[in-house]
Amino acid sequence: MPRIERALLSVTDKTGIVAFAKRLHALGVELVSTGGTAKVLADEGLPVREVAEITEFPEMLDGRVKTIHPRIAAGILAVRANREHMKALETFKIPTFQMVVVNLYQFENHATKPDVTREELIENIDIGGPTMVRAAAKNFQDVAVVVSPAQYEALVSELEGNAGALTFATHWSLAQQAFAHTAAYDTVVSARLARIHADGAATKEEALPRILRVQAPQTAHLRYGENPHQQAALYSFHHGGVASARQLHGKELSYNNLVDLDAAWQLILEFTQPAAAIVKHTNPCGCAEQTNLAEAYRKALEADPISAFGGVLAFNREVGRETAQEVSQLFAEAIAAPSFSPDAIEILTAKKNLRLVEVPPVTKPELVIKSISGGLLAQTADVAPMDGTAWRIVTSRQPNEEERQALAFGWKVAKHVKSNAIVYARTGQTVSVGAGQMSRVDSVKVGAMKALLPLTGTVLASDAFFPFADGVEEAAKHGVTAVIQPGGSLRDEETIAACDRLGLAMVFTGIRHFRH
């Protein structure tokens, strides 16, 4: 591969550019640059040629035209092995570039401003930058294209250890990253401009875009998918959440670990008080909200310690010593929390394979996207209010305060159980869960069958309406005193009548929480 003799540097993000340029200069690389970048380098005492020296043409149109010029484009695009290309460069005395270091106008910074104008957005669309990046990537075998400060250290180290040259594999990898970089940039620009009318007024932002553009870099290659014969990888939008989590300890996270961690994490975010969730195969087998985290964990585990074996745990507070001591007695696959205290880390890392994961808060709302054969489904997140303001009591008996609290808790958990979903609960604690049955009454029966704690005096939450009265009749057999469900069945009156006959209180929420 060619030795790097001349580099063109033109960056919006100046992070690390001076140190990188100094090491290039020490390798004998000639530095060529544009306005702002050239000034930064010159101020540090580095010898740098202005692009205008090569083009023999000044920057113009408020900087819109500076690198868009045959003497720059040809120096990047000329294929060294092509004699006609090289003859043309010689005829017009055009120098070649072996490296192009460019990152683009930070359009997204402007795109997220609440009162940004169309004119400001247009002015911050980079033209020359993407042109140079794509040109260098097209001619990757002769030109190394660098688009991120994160690439500087590895590249300059390779240059220093390889007589000022990069391997073919490095050139190819840089080109791949460059095309992904410009594609992502164009996606951001097109998506933002789509929200502006021809008259410049903002459109009402659509929750579901007309064209679904998904851009997410691969952040981890997983050993396999749900099963060993399937391939899998993790892609992250870098908006927080489980996909952006930091693993502190343990074996490599698997596909199934990540799916379960996300299910547990989404559940735990429903609660404001200290809460713990234990998930197995995406279904909660225990969840509790108490005055302290260790007690929440004990209550969550109490509901179904058998299913909890080999499960995934999530906490909505920092895991401290007491909670860690409790958790260390259970075989768990992974634990998600916003943070872990030093004492907790010391205790939990004694388990060699236990995965500890710090999960940052989600900073940007996202669509829920699932694949089907031949396409994708997208929906907004299930963030309907859970505060009880829209509840309607439909039975003769009103739920008492303790039942109300238990109903509110059970309703939050039911939202995160696979349909048909049934949750038996007390205040701040799941007692048993019936998940994923083909008929709702069977979910009621499964939840009762699995119960290890007494069901007498519990409440029951259902993610969707009871199509027949048999569901509440079955629940009453096991000691349930109150029921919460969306309502909306053609046979609601039969179910209400059954509750009145059996002395149950029942609340309609008016909102369904199917989870498929």
290-299: long-range contacts (C-beta < 8 A, 24 or more apart)?
290/428, 290/429, 292/322, 293/317, 293/319, 293/320, 293/322, 293/323, 294/320, 294/322, 294/323, 294/326, 296/428, 297/323, 297/326, 297/327, 298/326, 299/428, 299/429
DSSP 454: -
Calpha distance 498→158 (Å, rounded) = 76
SS3 10: strand
Give the active site residue among 25, 69, 85, 138.
138
CA atoms within 13 A on the CB side of 369: 15
346: which residues sit within 8 A by CB, 6+ positions away? Answer: none
| Per-residue tokens: 157 | 């180290």
Residue 279, SS3? strand
Active site residue 352: no
Q: Which residue has the tokens 């992250």?
A: 236
281 is catalytic: yes
| 374/35 Cα distance (integer angstroms) | 48
- How many angstroms separate the first and last alpha carbons of the chain? 53
The residue count for the chain: 516
Q: Which of 85, 251, 281, 351 is catalytic?
A: 281
In a 3-state reduction of DSSP, which class is residue 157? helix
CB-CB contact of 291 with 274 (8 Å): yes
- Do 302 and 329 contact (CB within 8 A), yes or no? no
DSSP state letters, 216-275? --EEEEES-SSSTTS-EEEE--SSSSGGG-EEEESSPPPHHHHHHHHHHHHHHTT-SSSE
Q: How many CB atoms lie within 10 A of CB 57?
A: 13
Give the H/E segment covering residue 24. Answer: helix 17-26
404: alpha, beta or left? (left if phi > 0; alpha if psi -120 to 50): alpha
Question: Pick from 436, 480, 437: which is nearest to 461 by CA?
Answer: 480
The closest alpha carbon to 500, from 404, 395, 391, 393, belongs to 395
Residues 6+ apart with CB under 8 A from 391: 484, 507, 508, 509, 510
CA distances from 355 to 300, 330, 336 (A): 20, 13, 9
Q: Tell me which residues are annotated as active site.
A: 138, 281
